[in-house]
Structure 1
Amino acid sequence: MRLENDKEFNFLFEEEYKKIPWIFRWSQKRFIGALIFMGVCFVAAMIFLGLFNDSAEYVTLPSFGGYEMGFNDYNYAFLIAMIICFAVIAVMAAWMVLSKLLENRAFKKATELNNMIFLTERHRVEMEWQKWKMENRDY
């Protein structure tokens, strides 16, 4: 985030932002690409869920006491692929959140440093004004 009128703040923010590792700095294109990739992973996970449900085969067991027993046997490769897709989405979402937190921390540090500089400068001007008033009194 840039503030157009505050050059000192922009300089401080750029210095703090440079301290963030490059892998956590997101450009707009990179962010949109990551969102598209996460969307593709979500669609793939939904497809794998449907394939998992469709892979059920009813297996009958020998009957005991006249009752026919059985269970559904699934192809668990589709379930594993779905879990991997959701894990990729979760890791990328955590990566994006961590990146945003680091950027917010850099903004907060730059704001605090800029505020300290502003207060110091204001105090210095006030001291000069007080000194000038003391030297130019009319008695």
Structure 2
Amino acid sequence: MSVLTSYRVTWEQKGSTTSRTETCLVDSDDMTRPGDPEQLHGLLRQMLAIRYLPIGQVVPANIVLQDVVPVCNCEPHPGESCAWAEHKGHRFYLQTSARPGYEVIIDRHDNEILGTVRNTLSVEFLTMVRQRYSHQ
């Protein structure tokens, strides 16, 4: 199932000192390696180059990313504040497990445990959960 994630991206054209901030949507189907920041940054550079660079300079390498921030999916609704804003918009988080070598993925929405994961895989798993469910 395809999931769209919004990012607020601050960037500048290589060689320029003027930065711009744009909102970009990334489709999870375009990611062959979910959770890989390098692939995400490559997709964002490509998208920005196509959209904003003059013909002849439309090359992702001509885009310098300064900041990439996921946009809370409750921001587009006027007058509503994000319930997880105090946690940088993250609904899901990691906590140390009572079981040695494991961490627990917890949902702040209902304070329920989603799963217990080996600590070597916990960050990747948390990233996949955040990409999949965001604040839904």
Higher RCO structure (Cα 8 Å, ≥6 apart): 1
Which structure has more helix as a fraction of its residues?
1
Structure whose CA Rg is larger: 1
State TM-score, norm by structure 2: 0.19
Which structure has more strand as a fraction of its residues?
2
State TM-score, norm by structure 1: 0.19
